[in-house]
Structure 1
């Protein structure tokens, strides 16, 4: 049993169902799982949470969020880039994503130009205020890094790293010299030991191959996204590109829920083709209720649902894109429901993964061994006629809520 930090609270999750069908108790001490046993076998002096009727999963992570513009769809004016306004929106967006299950968020923030470093300052302030609830990491994204216009971008990127940006980003598609742009990002990232996250449509297979070759083998890692243009290529060309991406060991982050303000194309790349070539594919949300996608939900389970329902992935493969693969893309340790694993968990109402992806309303989120968010839904039927009889319901209706009820 892993040693528990002194004074760490103990949390016992009892009667939870796992995707393999087992029903278990899970004892958590501090940020890690201490013990997993058959249902009813574990006891604890701490808090006990009855999870009968819930499916217990590794928590999702959000690899591609844009908090600077989040929740601004209804605003008449362009979104304010003042640090305090960005801090407020980034905080609200991260809490919404936490309620969906994401205990870690990678936030893409534009730096340089007229707005300077104000939006980054706001996101970093949100990160500090959210500590203990969720992990928020900022990606500094300059638009141009080469030529005379690139001097400002390079200076802003260096300042962003000094301020606390955890990831070096870029937009090579918008730079007159995409290869030079990528080289500048990789050079700065290598100097500071930061991972890299590049926005690209992926519509030009030759350009994407050059980008992958430049990034190949870079440590601590490179993400490319949303790569929607790959879906517009002929199959053979897309397959060759997928092989090159696999050889470069980059991660492709797709956005099945919609748009990204830093990309020109919408859509999802051919995830089955990429996965069959050996490319790690993670899924993110992109925009969250801004003008690019006014109905964006920021829900990782919706992203997994779309990959399963529209792209042909199995529920297990689809969920991995928002959990295991997403956590790996963010440089986070993997999560398993076993002793010693990080206590980053999501409990959703339901008895199987397919059902959870289809209709997961009630959720309990555990971050670093503590319940960080809880969403409860009530399903209620009221019909005095034939519908109630057909469903074998009492004529005055039935309400499903709490452990053991409906989704």
Structure 2
């Protein structure tokens, strides 16, 4: 296949693997089987299977996540055999809560000390990375009991994950208006100075939601940073004010989970969708469950929003905390639910957790084409519908390097073979 002529934007600065890596025999969603050569954190070439194999440094076990190759760009490429795998742009986690993740089984008050938050945030990020999310946006509470301690811990985790995954943080104060709001506003300013990259919060929880949004938008405009607000969106008048205020802000505004839209009369929900589209707002829905800062009212009406032209992404939301004690933090599960429960085609559903999610995070687009960032996910399976249904074995590539591998083995008892039962073609791994 000829190299793509489109030049994508540069990927964010950071550590990349300059050694070359060759992905052999991968299947694409259009049915083609290709080789893909990576180098310098980007896709260097895509060709028909076997066309790029000359001059490689040798084969590695499928999905080996160790030191794959050494040397400068242009060195001989190590090979990863992706026969039987579907190669996709890597998903991104557009809505996480690292500071409260993995606390559902805890007893007593939630611990916000540095060590506890660092442990939880690290474990959650690695869990999500193993599922394929090479970029994450985490909402972190600031003010009240935790002050800036939780944010400090998550920023430390961000630094420790460099080279494995990109972690962005959203500072979330509880109140920004009235006498109590002065402290919250000061805390929010300090959070941005510390390294929080997005201004967020939950205006529905403030006595003056409009004043809360005004404060957030003013601070975001002052610092030139994005906005990511929690709202249930069940009050159409309040949502209309919010979208009117947010329209035109650059960088843009993200709202989520907006589950209350699904409970509005159809004509009211349609009018709200038109307003969101006109304002250029991105909606991040949470098909796996809501989070503690918004009422659990189901999932936003994604088909209605998409039909109106709203940019819709999907995230995981709560991860095994009091809001969702069984969360998986798996973008493919979010896509599966969008397809199975909310009527999106598999391609649309995966787009919500990959291209649309990356766009919501301000990241460059990824395609399996030359010149694009080497942010990739290989899942065992022949097609996207099958991968969303049953994708246990995964190989995750971040900045041109294999950073995580999950290998699933399925075995059948001896009596199955003795009875003459014909086992699946890949009987020792999950069916594709």
Q: Do both proteins adopt the same fold according to a TM-score greater than 0.5, normalized to the shorter chain?
A: yes
Q: Is the 8 Å Cα contact of residues 113 and 152 (structure 1) preserved in structure 2?
A: no
The corresponding residue for 2:60 is none
Which residue of 415, 418, 423 maps to 1:393?
Answer: 423
| CA deviation map 1:114-155 (0-9, x unaligned) | 211000001000001000000011100011111111001100
Asked if residue 38 in structure 1 is aligned to residue 69 in structure 2, the reply is no
Q: Is the 8 Å Cα contact of residues 17 and 399 (structure 2) preserved in structure 1?
A: no
The corresponding residue for 2:332 is 301
Q: Is the 8 Å Cα contact of residues 382 and 398 (structure 1) preserved in structure 2?
A: no
The corresponding residue for 1:364 is 395
SS of residue matched to 1:266? coil
The corresponding residue for 2:301 is 270
Q: Decide which moves more: 38-47 or 344-353.
A: 38-47
Q: What is the Cα deviation at residue 47 of structure 1?
A: 1.3
Give unpaired runs (5+ residues) of structure 2.
57-75
The corresponding residue for 1:101 is 132
Q: What is the Cα deviation at residue 179 of structure 1?
A: 1.2
| CA deviation map 1:269-315 (0-9, x unaligned) | 11000000000110000111112111000000000000000000000
Asked if residue 313 in structure 1 is aligned to residue 323 in structure 2, the reply is no
CA distance in 1, matches of 2:228, 2:171: 9
CA distance in 2, matches of 1:121, 1:34: 37
| CA deviation map 1:360-384 (0-9, x unaligned) | 0000000000001000000112252
Q: Is the 8 Å Cα contact of residues 56 and 346 (structure 1) preserved in structure 2?
A: yes
The corresponding residue for 1:204 is 235
TM-score (norm 2): 0.90
Q: 1:254 to 1:7 in 2, by over 3 A?
A: closer
Q: Is the 8 Å Cα contact of residues 382 and 388 (structure 1) preserved in structure 2?
A: no
* Aligned length in residues: 400
Q: What is the Cα deviation at residue 259 of structure 1?
A: 2.2
Q: 1:292 to 1:387 in 2, by over 3 A?
A: farther
Q: 1:264 to 1:398 in 2, by over 3 A?
A: closer
CA distance in 2, matches of 1:368, 1:283: 23
Q: Is the 8 Å Cα contact of residues 256 and 284 (structure 2) preserved in structure 1?
A: yes
Q: 1:7 to 1:221 in 2, by over 3 A?
A: closer
CA distance in 1, matches of 2:411, 2:21: 31
The corresponding residue for 2:19 is 9
CA distance in 2, matches of 1:104, 1:355: 24
CA distance in 1, matches of 2:317, 2:358: 16
CA distance in 1, matches of 2:399, 2:186: 36
The corresponding residue for 1:223 is 254
Q: Is the 8 Å Cα contact of residues 380 and 398 (structure 1) preserved in structure 2?
A: no
Q: What is the Cα deviation at residue 72 of structure 1?
A: 1.1
CA distance in 1, matches of 2:102, 2:280: 34
SS of residue matched to 1:48? strand
CA distance in 2, matches of 1:220, 1:296: 30
Q: Is the 8 Å Cα contact of residues 202 and 229 (structure 2) preserved in structure 1?
A: yes
Q: 1:7 to 1:90 in 2, by over 3 A?
A: closer
Which residue of 21, 28, 33 maps to 2:31?
Answer: 21
| CA deviation map 1:40-76 (0-9, x unaligned) | 1002322100000000000000010001111111111
The corresponding residue for 2:376 is 345
Matches within 5 A, 1:110-129: 110-129=141-160
The corresponding residue for 1:154 is 185
Asked if residue 52 in structure 1 is aligned to residue 62 in structure 2, the reply is no
Which residue of 88, 99, 104 maps to 1:68?
Answer: 99
The corresponding residue for 2:119 is 88
Q: 1:53 to 1:398 in 2, by over 3 A?
A: closer
Which residue of 214, 231, 234 maps to 2:265?
Answer: 234
CA distance in 1, matches of 2:291, 2:16: 44
Q: What is the Cα deviation at residue 393 of structure 1?
A: 3.4
SS of residue matched to 1:379? coil
Cα RMSD (Å) of the superposition?
A: 1.9
Q: What is the Cα deviation at residue 8 of structure 1?
A: 1.3
